[in-house]
Each structure stands twice: as C-alpha cells, then as structure tokens.
A and B are shown apart, each in its own frame.
Chain A
Amino acid sequence: MAEATQELLTTADGRPLKEALATAQSRAKRRAFLLVLPLLLFIVLTFLVPIGYTLKRSFEHDGFAASAPALASWFRANPDFDPANPPEEAYAALVEDLARMQVEKTTGLAGARINYSVPGTISLFKKGSREAKTLPPPFKDSLIALDPDWAKPALWRGMASASHVYTTEFYYVASDMKLNDDGWERGEDKERIYLYLFFKTFIVSGIITVLCLLLAFPVSHLLATLPMAKSSILMIFVLLPFWTSLLVRTTSWIALLQEQGVVNDLLVGIGLISEDGRMTMMYNMTGTIVAMTHVLLPFMILPLYSVMKVIPPSYARAARSLGATSWTTFRRVYLPQTLPGIAAGSLLVFILAVGYYITPALVGGADGALISNMIAANMKNSNWSLAAAVAAMLLAAILVLYWLYDRLIGIDRLKLG
C-alpha cells in the first residue's frame, strides 16, 4: 500500500486521478464561477477601475507636456539648463508653444498643470498666449517685459518638470512641499495644511474610535447576555439609526447641538449656563466628534456583540470560583476574549472615520474639517491630480494600518459579526 501511494494514482480505467478529479469537478467549478461573475464584473468596473484611474492621475498629467511640444523637446535636449537664466532658444520655444496654445485652446490645461507646483500661473499663461503672436524677438526680453514673472526660476523649474508626463510633484505638494526658486523645499508653517490635516484626521479618528469602544462595550455585553426577547428589542435600537438616512442623523445633531439648539436651550432653561454662555458644540471639532461617534457606533457594537455572544458565561464563573474578584475576572478573563471583537470594531471604525466626508462636511465647519474634506475641496477646484495624490496617501496609510494589525493581532482573528 505504501508503495502504491508513491506511484501516480489512477482511476479504475487507468486515467490519472488528478485529471479525473479535475474533469469531475470542472462543471461545478464553471457554474460557481458564472454565479460570481456578475459581482466580479461589478467590482472591477465600479471599484478597481476608478481606483486605478485615480491612482494613475496622482502621478500622471500631460496637460503641459502635450500642449507645449517645442519647449518640452528643448527641455529634453538641455536637461542641465540654468533655471535662473534660461537662454533665448528656451524663450523662443516657449513663445511658439504659447501661440499654439492660443490656437488649440489648451492654455488653461497647461496653466493648470504648472499651477499645481507654481500657484498663480494660469493667469500668467493666459496673458502670455494672448500676446504670443505679436511678441517681437528677442523673445526673452519681450516676454519678461510683458510680465517679469516669466523670469522666475521656480516657474522654469516647474515647466521643466511638467514637460514629463509622469511626475511625483503632486505627492510633494500633498506633503506640504513648495517649489521655490531653488527647487522643492519645506513649505512655510502657515501653508503646511495637508500633513497637519492628516495628523488631525488620525487623532480625531483615534478619539472617535476610543469613544465608540467605551460606549459600545457595555451595550454589546448587555446585548450578548440579556434574554433573547429583551436583546432583540435592544438590537433594534442599535440598528434603527443604522437604517436611518445618514443625512437625517447628522442634521438631527445640528438641531440638538447648535447654539439655539435643544441642548443649549435645556442647559439655559435649568440655569446651568447663562444666555450669553451658550456653548458652541456645532460647526467645530466637538460637533464632528459627537456626530461621527454616533454614526459609527453600530460598527463597533456589531463585531463586539458577535464575539461576546459566543463567550460562555462559565468562563466568568470559573474565574470567580477560582478566587478572582469581578474586576480581575473582567480584566484577565473576559476582556482578553473580547479582543478580536475590539480589534475588528476599532479597525473598522478607525478606517471609516479616517475617510469620512459627509458628517464633518455638514457639522464640522472650518475647524472640524478632516482630510477627506480637503480631498473633496481639491476635486471641486478641479485639482484632480492633487486630490488623487492625497487620496493615495490616505489609502497607503490605511494599508499600513491594516498590515500592522495583521502583524500584531492577525487578520484571521478578525470577527466582523
């Protein structure tokens, strides 16, 4: 028997066993694949393709390279030119391109591309291409006479870089770098908004996660231990907000928390605060945190509940009978067993919070805005590449978190309900 297993196993009619098995299963496999095909197509078309497209946009932009071919070829021929003092041929190529942009109506596109790294260039380009046809040589002097900004080394650096279709510039901008006359440098503190917002988003998401955990833990425990009839009712209370429109939930927080809102009225009514001392709990960070904690709470409760549900009460009883106080029992026996739920809930809430847009947009005001609001603002301003770069960085940060989670806790221990 041991010898036989060494040889290639065959079926009774002599076909190799592996082949026979594959044939026997192929029909079932084909059918299974056809069943998941619609979902697969849906995911590819609506999820993978847009994400891939966005990621591509974060390092690809041909707005300048395509509309300024003369200058682009000059840059290729003279990679080591001096941005502080470009020669006449460079200016000649630039004026030729500006004139073509006027004809091809690509001025805005080219200007917008340079505008990412050198703010204020769209108007410069528009003016330049309007006048390009009439400019007399030498083009260097006449262009600088038209607008002295044409001599700025930063602009020439920006144009040189933009003459390549692929670039990392958007990531520089998204990390608060600034293109100066001497190249890319750290921006001034006042202008450092992206990293600050990233930092703030992560801190706020952390606070929201902790708040959700503190609020959800007792509720989940109650859900898991109450008799079926009562826990079903409680579960409906947990899920009811889940089924309510996000917009309704968020705006009801506005009604509650605004300065003339229910909470302030109540506090003034019972004399706890004076009419002038009404608290500002809306359109700032407080509003964002309160509303987002509420909105994300079910995402913490459900994984916790699913883990707690299967912890037999006999563990706690065993711990008590072994001499542990109720606190020790909780800390050393109950809590460690809920860890997969805590980890899953926290990961879920944190990742959702980091990318949350609508709630901070509605109740956050200026102070309560998060990184997603900045991505949205860039999209609104048609700064697609910058929005894509910030989004890609956010995605990378979340993937790093996910990787850390897998290393520390193990993704197979994740329980999402």
Chain B
Amino acid sequence: MTSEPRSDAFVAFEHVQKSYDGVSLVVKDLNLSIGKGEFLTMLGPSGSGKTTCLMMLAGFETATHGEIKLDGVNINQVPPHKRGIGMVFQNYALFPHMTVGENLSFPLEVRGMGKDEREAKIKRALDMVQMGAFASRRPAQLSGGQQQRIALARALVFDPSLVLMDEPLGALDKQLREHMQFEIKHLHESLGITVVYVTHDQGEALTMSDRIAVFNDGRIQQLAPPADLYERPENSFVAQFIGENNKLLGTIEELTGDKALVRLTTGELIDATAVNAKEKGLKTLVSIRPERVEFKPEMMPPGAHTIDAEVIELIYMGDILRAVLKVAGSDNFVMKMRNTLGQTKLAPGQKIKVGWHPQDARALDP
C-alpha cells in the first residue's frame, strides 16, 4: 500500500512514529517516499496525522521513532531554520509589523544576502504571484487572496527546493480557492520544486496532485495518483472519503481471477472486482461511483447482472442529473446522468434496472 523507501527519494519517511502523550500514536509506522519535483498531497480527515507529518518534516515536531530524510540525509536532529524548506501556513502567518517587501526580505536577510540581490529576488517573487505593486503595503491592507499570494511568494523567495503547504487555501472562498489551485499548480510546474501539500479537501487534492497519500488513523490508507485513487480505491475508507460513493453489502459468491459475483444481503447478485476481499464466502462492501451506474442495457457489458431500482427523487443540477434510487432495500443509492440532449427523462416512482461494468464495482473490506 505504501511505497517502499526508494534510494533516489528526495524526501523519505522511514518507519516514522509520533506520539504526543506517550500513550497513543498519532502517526503509526509511516513510510513515504517523495520524488524530486513531485506534487504530493497528504489528504485526510482532521486528526488523521497528516499535519503532524508535515510538522515533522518542517522540524517543528520531532519524530518519536524512525527517520526522516531530505535528499538522502537524515534531518531528524536538524533545527527548522537549517532545513531550507519553504512553508505556507494555513493563516498565512505574514508578519503584521512588516510590509510585504520586508516580509519577503526577511528570509533573505537572515541568509546574509546583499541589498541588491535581495531586491532583485523580492521583485521576481512578487511578479511571480502578480503582486509586484504591493511591496510597500502591510499585510492587514490586503485581501485574503492577496495575503495568500504573498505567503506563497515568501515561501518561494529564497529558492527552496521543497515547499510545504498546510491547508493554504482553507480560508478562501470557493472561486478564489479554485483559481489559486491553478496558480500553485503552475508555479510548481514552472519552478520544478517539490511540494508537499496538506489538505482535507479532496477536490483540491484531486486537481493539484501528482500523487495523493490518504491518511486515516495515523496511517497512509492509499498512496496513488488522483485517477487511481478515485477510480480504484483500495479500501472502503478511501472509497468513502474520496468522492461520492454507493455502498452495497454482501458476500462473495463466486470468484474467477479477480472477477467476483457478490450475493447482496437482500439476495440479488451483482458483478464486482475483488480488491481486498479475495476469498469465497467473505463479507464485502461493494463500492460503485454514481456516474458509473447505468440504466440503459446498451451501455452495460453483455451478460451483466442488473438489479431492480425505483426512482425516488430526481435532482436537476445543471450539468448533471442526479437520481436517488431505492436499490437492494436502501433508498440512498445515487446515479448521475449527463444532461445531454437526448438523455432519457426519468420520473419519480419509475421502475428501472441498473447495472455496471464489473471493474467499476469494487469489492472491498466491509
């Protein structure tokens, strides 16, 4: 599930554990390798250990056990100011008593850089985030989005090769957040820096990342590129946490390779792919994405098992139509249909049959 430490990893966590109170572990045996230039997101609910991992990497928390390596060197004992890691904080942490220019100048001054060089770098960094005209303003005079850009520029101005971001867009409104996601992504690509990004917003993680590490309960549940994570979740936590998801509880009836036939608790048979429920007779939770559910026979593979459904509610959402169905005894089974010109109009109370491609239904741990 977690990638084994690679020798060429730029950042590596090796068997890292962290406990605050000596009683419970917040991070349990973390192994994670991050390649140079990668955009890696740590995604998880609050209390899952993702921020603790970031703080350990930044040097604000010490690992209780295990090694953290940066560019092949153990940095467990290196104080934060010698790690040379840029960091963007959730509340921006711009120094309120300094102007924007002074804020950006700070990391350069503490590195003993000359005035001319400093000014050139500050100008370049501010231009990079389109804030060139704001050098003499105070942070309090800027909007949230502008402050966010300055925080970004400050984390980048001293040319760190690794930048950590701790929910940097959490305080922005939706539109600005989406805009900033693209800007951060572009900066990452154009500068070639390595980014470790912490968020609890799965949409943000999916749009921006090269790979996403889904955290829960102090462990990485799955480490994969966004598409894999969304389409091929490896356990029911990931399936639940990322995107919308239909769950059907049942038992594996037949298993050929990884093709499984699942008998639901209500008696129906459905097709599924065995992921981590790989034995006949095992209880399983089958997970299907709403947009992969089909109700037109021509869209299903030949011989696919179908299951009776009753339309309970139809919700018009503009780009898609969302149908809430009663399937296998539960009435919160969701199906999403594209709002195309010829789309069949369903009506509440209508009886239909739904099915799917076996690879879209994943039989996971219950």
A residues at B contact (CB < 8 Å): 312, 314-315, 317-326, 328-329, 332-333, 336-337, 339
Q: Are B89 and A319 in contact (CB under 8 A)?
A: no
Q: Which residues of B157-210 are within 8 A (CB) of A?
A: 158, 164
Q: Which residues of B77-123 are within 8 A (CB) of A?
A: 79-87, 89-91, 93-97, 106-107, 110-111
Q: List B contacts of A325 (CB < 8 A).
A: 81, 110
Q: Are B107 and A322 in contact (CB under 8 A)?
A: yes
Q: List B contacts of A336 (CB < 8 A).
A: 97
Known: A314-B91, A317-B89, A318-B87. A323 touches B97 (CB 8 A): no
User: Chain B residue with minimal CB distance to A333?
Assistant: B95
Q: List A contacts of B97 (CB < 8 A).
A: 336-337, 339
With A and B bound together, what is the CA distance between A326 and B60 in angstroms? Answer: 12
Q: How far is the CB of A212 from chain B (nearest CB, A)?
A: 23
Q: Taking the complex as formed, is B59 at the interface, i.e. its CB lies under 8 A from any CB of chain A? A: yes
Q: Is the interface of A mostly helix, strand, loop or mixed?
A: helix
B81 interface neighbour in A312, A314, A324, A332, Cβ under 8 Å: A324
User: Chain B residue with minimal CB distance to A335?
Assistant: B97
B89 interface neighbour in A318, A326, A328, A339, Cβ under 8 Å: A318
Q: How far is the CB of B49 from chain A (nearest CB, A)?
A: 18
Q: List B contacts of A317 (CB < 8 A).
A: 58, 60, 80, 87, 89, 93
Q: List A contacts of B110 (CB < 8 A).
A: 322-325, 328
Q: Are B85 and A332 in contact (CB under 8 A)?
A: no
Q: List B contacts of A324 (CB < 8 A).
A: 81, 106-107, 110
With A and B bound together, what is the CA distance between A336 and B80 in angstroms? Answer: 22
Q: Taking the complex as formed, is B154 at the interface, i.e. its CB lies under 8 A from any CB of chain A? A: yes
Q: How far is the CB of A246 from chain B (nearest CB, A)?
A: 37
User: Chain B residue with minimal CB distance to A324?
Assistant: B110
Known: A321-B85, A321-B86. A314 touches B93 (CB 8 A): yes
Known: A314-B91, A317-B89, A332-B106. A322 touches B158 (CB 8 A): yes
Q: Are A323 and B81 in contact (CB under 8 A)?
A: yes
Q: List A contacts of B94 (CB < 8 A).
A: 318
Q: Are A323 and B96 in contact (CB under 8 A)?
A: no
A-B contact count (CB 8 A): 69
With A and B bound together, what is the CA distance between A323 and B89 in angstroms? Answer: 15
Known: A317-B89, A321-B85. A337 touches B80 (CB 8 A): no
With A and B bound together, what is the CA distance between A324 and B98 in angstroms? Answer: 15
Q: Are A321 and B81 in contact (CB under 8 A)?
A: yes
User: Chain B residue with minimal CB distance to A337?
Assistant: B97
Known: A320-B59, A323-B110. A312 touches B84 (CB 8 A): no
With A and B bound together, what is the CA distance between A314 and B90 in angstroms? Answer: 9
B residues at A contact (CB < 8 Å): 58-60, 79-87, 89-91, 93-97, 106-107, 110-111, 154-155, 158, 164
Q: List A contacts of B82 (CB < 8 A).
A: 323
Q: Are B106 and A322 in contact (CB under 8 A)?
A: yes
With A and B bound together, what is the CA distance between A322 and B80 in angstroms? Answer: 9
Task: Please name 21 pairs of A and B residues whose Cβ atoms are closer than 8 Å in the assembled complex, sorted by A.
Answer: A312-B91, A315-B95, A317-B60, A318-B93, A318-B95, A319-B106, A320-B79, A320-B80, A320-B81, A321-B155, A322-B81, A322-B87, A322-B107, A322-B155, A322-B158, A323-B82, A323-B84, A324-B81, A324-B106, A325-B81, A337-B95
Q: How far is the CB of B186 from chain A (nearest CB, A)?
A: 23
With A and B bound together, what is the CA distance between A303 and B44 in angstroms? Answer: 40
With A and B bound together, what is the CA distance between A329 and B60 in angstroms? Answer: 14
With A and B bound together, what is the CA distance between A329 and B59 in angstroms? Answer: 15
With A and B bound together, what is the CA distance between A170 and B85 in angstroms? Answer: 68
Q: List A contacts of B158 (CB < 8 A).
A: 322-323
Q: How far is the CB of B294 from chain A (nearest CB, A)?
A: 49
Q: How far is the CB of B18 from chain A (nearest CB, A)?
A: 17
With A and B bound together, what is the CA distance between A329 and B58 in angstroms? Answer: 16
- Taking A315-B93, A317-B93 as known contacts, 4 extra A-B pairs with beta carbons closer than 8 A to each other, sorted by chain A number, are A314-B90, A321-B155, A323-B158, A337-B97
Q: Are A323 and B111 in contact (CB under 8 A)?
A: yes
Q: List A contacts of B59 (CB < 8 A).
A: 320-321
With A and B bound together, what is the CA distance between A199 and B80 in angstroms? Answer: 48
With A and B bound together, what is the CA distance between A313 and B341 in angstroms? Answer: 55
7 tightest Cβ-Cβ pairs between the two chains A and B: A322-B107, A318-B93, A321-B87, A314-B93, A320-B80, A336-B97, A324-B110
Q: Are A337 and B111 in contact (CB under 8 A)?
A: no
Pick the most buried of B83, B89, B90, B154: most chain A CB atoms within 10 A of its CB: B89
Q: Are B89 and A314 in contact (CB under 8 A)?
A: yes
With A and B bound together, what is the CA distance between A413 and B237 in angstroms? Answer: 50
With A and B bound together, what is the CA distance between A333 and B95 in angstroms? Answer: 7
Pick the most buried of B80, B83, B91, B110: most chain A CB atoms within 10 A of its CB: B80
Q: List B contacts of A322 (CB < 8 A).
A: 81, 86-87, 106-107, 110, 154-155, 158
Q: How far is the CB of A310 from chain B (nearest CB, A)?
A: 11
Q: List A contacts of B91 (CB < 8 A).
A: 312, 314
Q: How far is the CB of A298 from chain B (nearest CB, A)?
A: 27
With A and B bound together, what is the CA distance between A316 and B60 in angstroms? Answer: 10
With A and B bound together, what is the CA distance between A65 and B46 in angstroms? Answer: 84
Q: List B contacts of A320 (CB < 8 A).
A: 59-60, 79-81
